[in-house]
Structure 1
């Protein structure tokens, strides 16, 4: 269950102010139909994070425990730095209106999540915990915790949340995970050399 709770919390924090959350605000303001937007975000996130989780699980088969420990530890530290960099929507196309609200949201959200902080975090968390189901469910719940209010409250909420403080908390958690992984502490995640 650690995989679920850590994945949920980290992704919910990392998603605050992220480009996909900004996209949720934009789609909600543009279409004003929260239910199809939320369902499309859920489906896009499940598909995207399942792919990312499978990739993370597959990476564990390619690397030895020590190499994997270093890759994961440094990845979490890199995520700590990356989460502090503000996102924008410059590279996200939201003009897919010929597919309707659900289709436009599904396509744009899935594409926007490719290579995003939360997708990369899902890869690392799946490799760390080696529990694909709980990581994907946790990261998906984290995305929904951040994006459902964004859809319902739109820009009103965005200006009231302390995004910088939220990003700092996420960065500290990612940094702590990275250091713990590099030091081999915080539990056995299948990364020990002993059998």
Structure 2
């Protein structure tokens, strides 16, 4: 239960102002079809985080406890610093193309999550807890908690959130996890 709750909260906080949340806002403004966008986000996130959780379990099995502790500790601290750097969306979808809104959302979200801090957090959390299902379920739920409202409420909601304060809180949580891992707690 700890892995599920921590994964959900951490990713929900980390996702505020992230490039994938900006992508959700952009898709909502462009296509104005919230249901296929939300389903596309869910499917893409499940696929991406399932892969990341599997990598996390492999890392946990391949590395000795001491090396894993150092990798996780330094990784969480690096993600804490990365959290303080604002994200900007690199690419904008021009049209929905032949895949439709759902397919376009799936492809764009899956690609946008590659190498993203929430994907790396999924790898690290799966390795730390040595648990696939609760971590993947939690990180996916966290993504939906942050992105589904962005799809339905759009820009009005995003401008009212204290994004900087949320990023500072998420960075602090990641730093605590890093110190926790380094100390072997």
Instruction: Sort the TM-score into its range (normalised by shorter chain).
Output: over 0.9
How far did residue 95 of structure 1 move? 3.2
Partner of 1:95: 94
Question: 4+ residue runs of structure 1 moved beyond 3 angstroms?
Answer: none
Which residue of structure 2 aligns with residue 11 of structure 1? 11
Task: Find the aligned partners of 2:105 and 2:64 in 1 and give their Cα distance.
Answer: 39
Q: How do residues 152-171 of structure 1 correspond to structure 2 at under 5 angstroms?
A: 152-171=152-171
The aligned residue for residue 193 of structure 1 is: none
Residues 1:127 and 2:131 aligned together? no
Residue equivalent to 2:51: 51
Calculate the TM-score normalised by the size of structure 1: 0.93
2:107 is equivalent to residue 111 of structure 1: no
Residue 180 (structure 1) aligns with: 180
Flag structure 1 segments of 5+ consecutive residues without an equivalent. Answer: 186-195
TM-score (norm 2): 0.98
Superimposed CA distance per residue, residues 2-48 of structure 1 (whole angstroms, 9 cap, x where no aligned partner): 00000000000000000000000000000000000000000000000
Deviation at 1:96, TM superposition (A): 5.5
Match of 1:30 in 2: 30
Count of paired positions: 184
3-state SS, counterpart of residue 85 of structure 2: coil
Distance 1:84 1:148 in 2: 23
Going by fraction, where is helix more abundant, 1 or 2? 2
Q: Secondary structure at the match of 1:21?
A: helix
Mapped to 2, the partners of 1:36 and 1:8 lie a distance apart of 23
